[in-house]
C-alpha cells in the first residue's frame, strides 16, 4: 500500500527542474551530486556509471535514475551521449538509484526528446506541455518497473501478434516454425510467460482493440461490422460470439449499455 501511495504521488508530481543534453561524444563526467533526482538516458555509446562507489555498465537505451546527493560519474573509452533531467520526487524511498531500459520502439526516448525541445523552445503554454510530457515519462517508468521480461522467442512472437491485430489472415500456428521450435513446446513457453496461449493472447488483443473502437464509435461513425473487420475478424457473427465470450455482452448490447449509438 505504501508503494502505491508513493507511485500515485510521483505520477502527479510537478514537472522537471531542468532538461539537458550532451550533444558531442563525451568520455568522462567528473564525480558530482545533485540536490534533486536525476534521470539519464544514454542515446549513444557504452561505458561505466559509478553510483555511490559502485560500478554499473551502460549502453544505448539504458535509463538511470539517481537519488539526490548521491555521488556519481560516467565514463567511456569510445564516448557517449545522453539526455538528462532533474526532478523532485521518485517512489523508491531508501534506494540510491534505479536502472531501466527503454522499449524496442524507443517510446521513452521519443517523449524525452520532445520534452527537451519544448523545455528550451518555451513556446506559449510550454510549462504545461513539458509537465504533461514529464508525466508520460513517469508512467513509462512505472510500467518498466513492473514489467516482466519475456523469453526472447516469446517477446518476438508478442510483437508479431500485436503488429497483426487487424490482419484477419494472420495465423499464430506458423510462429513456432519461424523459431525452429516444436509447436507444443512453443505454446507451453508462450503460456508460461504470458498466461495465455498464442491464440488466446491474439484474441484478447483483438477484443481489446474492438472495445477501443466501440468507445469512440459515436465520434467516428464506424459500424460494428467495420469494427469487426478492423479488429481482425473475417466473420462478423464469429466476432460477436468471441466478443460476448470475453465481455459477457454482444457488441450491440455493449453499445446500448454504454449509451453509444451504433451507426448501421
Tens of pLDDT, residues 123-165:
999 999 999 999 999 999 888 876 655 677 888 888 889 889 9
**Residue whose C-alpha is closest to residue 209's, from 181, 242, 185, 178:** 242
pLDDT digits 0-9 by tens, 214-258: 988 877 888 999 999 999 999 999 999 999 999 999 999 998 888
CA dist., res. 122 & res. 251, Å (int): 46
DSSP tag of 248: S
pLDDT digits 0-9 by tens, 97-118: 888 889 888 999 999 999 999 9
DSSP tag of 228: H
pLDDT digits 0-9 by tens, 29-64: 999 999 999 999 999 999 999 999 889 999 999 999
CA dist., res. 207 & res. 248, Å (int): 12
Q: What is the pLDDT of residue 104?
A: 80
CA dist., res. 70 & res. 68, Å (int): 5
Which residues, 6+ apart, have CB-to-CB distance to 216 below 8 Å? 222
* CATH code that applies to domain 2-146: 2.60.120.280
Domain 152-257 in CATH 3.40.228.10: no
* Long-range contacts of residues 48-52, Cβ cutoff 8 Å, at least 24 apart: 48/74, 48/75, 48/76, 49/73, 49/74, 50/74, 51/96, 51/97, 52/96, 52/97
Q: Tally the residues of the chain.
A: 264
Banded pLDDT at 12 (limits 50, 70, 90)? very low
The pTM (predicted TM-score) of the whole model is: 0.61
Instruction: Locate 230 and state its grid cell.
Output: 478492423
* 3-class DSSP state of 245: helix
Same fold, 2-146 and 152-257: no
Domain boundaries, given as residue ranges, for the chain? 2-146, 152-257
Q: How far, in Å, are 14, 66, 143, 173, 193 from residue 95 at the CA level?
A: 21, 9, 18, 45, 29
Amino acid at each position: 500500500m505504501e508503494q502505491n501511495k508513493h507511485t500515485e504521488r510521483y505520477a502527479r508530481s510537478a514537472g522537471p527542474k531542468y532538461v539537458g543534453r550532451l550533444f558531442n561524444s563525451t568520455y568522462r563526467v567528473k564525480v558530482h551530486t545533485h540536490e534533486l533526482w536525476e534521470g539519464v538516458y544514454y542515446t549513444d555509446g557504452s561505458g561505466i556509471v559509478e553510483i555511490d562507489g559502485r560500478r554499473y555498465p551502460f549502453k544505448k537505451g539504458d535509463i538511470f535514475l539517481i537519488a539526490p546527493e548521491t555521488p556519481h560519474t560516467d565514463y567511456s573509452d569510445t564516448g557517449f551521449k545522453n539526455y538528462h533531467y532533474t526532478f523532485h520526487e521518485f517512489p523508491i524511498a531508501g534506494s540510491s538509484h534505479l536502472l531501466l531500459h527503454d522499449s524496442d520502439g524507443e517510446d521513452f526516448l521519443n517523449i524525452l526528446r520532445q520534452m527537451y525541445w519544448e523545455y528550451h523552445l518555451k513556446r506559449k503554454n510550454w510549462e504545461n506541455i513539458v509537465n504533461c510530457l514529464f508525466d508520460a515519462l513517469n508512467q513509462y517508468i512505472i510500467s518498466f518497473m513492473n514489467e516482466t521480461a519475456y523469453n526472447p522467442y516469446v517477446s518476438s512472437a508478442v510483437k508479431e501478434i500485436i503488429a497483426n491485430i487487424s490482419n484477419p489472415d494472420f495465423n499464430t500456428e506458423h510462429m513456432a516454425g519461424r523459431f525452429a521450435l516444436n509447436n507444443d513446446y512453443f505454446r507451453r513457453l508462450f503460456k508460461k510467460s504470458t498466461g495465455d496461449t498464442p491464440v488466446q493472447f491474439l484474441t484478447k488483443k483483438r477484443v481489446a482493440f474492438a472495445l477501443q473502437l466501440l468507445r469512440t464509435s459515436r465520434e467516428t461513425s464506424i459500424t460494428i461490422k467495420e469494427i469487426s473487420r478492423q479488429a481482425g475478424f473475417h466473420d462478423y457473427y464469429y466476432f460477436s460470439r468471441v466478443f460476448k465470450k470475453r465481455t459477457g455482452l454482444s457488441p450491440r448490447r455493449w453499445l446500448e449499455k454504454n449509451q453509444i449509438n451504433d451507426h448501421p
